[in-house]
Amino acid sequence: MTPETGKSNASGGSEPLLKRIRGLLIAGFVVIAPLFLTIWLVINLFLFADGFLGKPIQYLLAKFLGIEYFQNQMVHGIGFIALVLLMLVAGWLAKQYLGKRFVEVLNSIIERIPLVNKVYIAILQISEALLGGQREVFKYAVIMEYPKENVYSIGFVTQDTRGAAQRAIGSDVISIFVPTTPNPTSGYLLFVPKQDVTYLDLSVEEALKLIISAGAIVPKSGGGSREAARALGIRLAPTPGDDNSSMG
């Protein structure tokens, strides 16, 4: 064995070890990073609420109630509790007529502020899509060929189409909203024949995560309304333990 051959074998033997170490580091990062980021966000939200709301509240308590303890000591948690109460009150007001009007005026004002409006609108739309009433409009997720053959898009069934659109097309169609990425609150309304639509065994939340992440997040299967899709007559894709698809 020549020195050169020995050197080659040594380097060749070290590569798998380096790859294994690299794989372990990546796997460890994938496990630890979300946990640490979640803890970091929760702690910083807690500290932000304590600093932003806690100090003024303690000042008011010390001034109006005369409790000296609040003047000398920082009581952690007051700001966070105040934030939770504030969200509850804001949610209650938003459901009242005057509260709705106030939110509409506030949104119209913020939408006129350059730069701020982009950030605010993006956060507002994503929040409404994931947590708000728009989620309830979407019955379940489906997949279909769109915008051309052999190219597939995820959409959400909104209703079994009736009326003028149904009569004009002349076939049994359903209304499907196909959202854009990464902003799922804009998109396209499609009227698609039922036989061209396949049910997805995904909850609305998981399908929205997939769309907002541009496909980077692998959704968890399950949570879809399979019975509702079967009743509507949409093609059912096979699930684990199910050998074939069926029509409702």
CA–CA separation, 206 vs 224, rounded Å? 10
Domain for residue 224, yes or no? yes
When pLDDT is averaged across residues 217-235 and rounded to a whole number, the result is 73
Q: Which residues fall within 8 angstroms of residue 134, CB to CB, at 6 or more apart? A: 128, 185
Q: What is the CA radius of gyration of the chain?
A: 27
Residue 145 resides in a domain: yes
Kindly report, residue by residue over 40-94, the tens digit of the pLDDT: 888 888 888 777 787 777 777 777 776 666 666 777 777 888 888 888 888 888 7
Q: How much is the pTM?
A: 0.48
Q: How far is CA 208 from the centre of its chain?
A: 5
Give the Å distances, CA to CA, from 22 to 27, 34, 36, 116.
9, 19, 20, 41
The predicted pLDDT at position 135 comes to 52
Phi/psi for 125 (5° steps) reads -70, -40
Residue 214 in any domain: the answer is: yes
Examine residue 50 and state whether it is found in any structural domain, yes or no.
Answer: no
Residues forming a β-bridge with 179: 187
Q: What is the pLDDT of residue 136?
A: 53
Taking 50 as the threshold, does the pLDDT of residue 244 lie above it?
Answer: no
| Structural domain includes residue 103 | no
Report for 19-28, 136-145, 188-197: range of highest mean pLDDT: 188-197
Q: Which helix (H) or strand (E) holds 175?
A: strand 173-179
Range list of H helices, the chain: 3-49, 55-65, 69-72, 78-94, 97-110, 116-131, 134-137, 164-169, 204-212, 226-232
What's the whole-number mean pLDDT along residues 183-205? Answer: 86
**What's the CA gap between 57 and 90, in Å, rounded?**
18
Return mean pLDDT, the chain. 77
Q: Which of 81, 75, 22 is nearest to 49 (CA)?
A: 81
Dump pLDDT digits (tens) for 200-221.
Answer: 888 888 888 888 888 888 888 8
Rounded Cα–Cα distance for residues 132 and 247 (Å):
32
Domain count, the chain: 1
Residue 183 in domain:
yes
Amino acid of residue 105 = V
- The whole-number pLDDT of residue 153 equals 93
* Domain region containing 189: 138-236
**What is the spatial distance between Cα 134 and Cα 216, in angstroms, rounded to a whole number?**
23
Residue 147 domain-assigned? yes
Task: Tell me if 119 is assigned to some domain.
Answer: no
Share of the chain above pLDDT 90, in %: 7
Angle between helices 78-94 and 55-65 (to 10 degrees): 100
